Amino acid sequence: MTTLNDFKALRASVSPEVEQELYSLFYSDPAAAQQKIVEMAAEKDVTLSVDEVQSFLQQMDADDEFDDFELDAVALVAIAGGYHHQGRC
């Protein structure tokens, strides 16, 4: 059984670039992001279900473990609901 500490260790093993990609994916397609985490865990011989991912992320969010993460410009625009293309907003 995977524990929250195992999940945190998995998160720590991911590069900042991959972590940012996951955060961006969470804003556009949370189910795909959760599945991606399950797949990444499997590559590292860690067995996780989507339900476990959801639970661990909720626990970490409740503990304010994501407050220091900076999103890239694309993610910020997606969150804000904006889109800018060829001078149009």
User: Do the beta carbons of residue 38 and residue 46 sit within 8 Å?
Assistant: no
pLDDT at position 11: 87
pLDDT at position 38: 94
Give the Cα separation of 8 and 48 in Å (integer). 12
Dump pLDDT digits (tens) for 37-87.
999 999 999 999 999 998 888 888 787 776 655 555 555 555 455 444 444
pLDDT at position 42: 94
Give the global pTM.
0.69
pLDDT at position 72: 53
pLDDT at position 35: 95
pLDDT at position 69: 54
pLDDT at position 67: 62
User: Do the beta carbons of residue 78 and residue 24 sit within 8 Å?
Assistant: yes
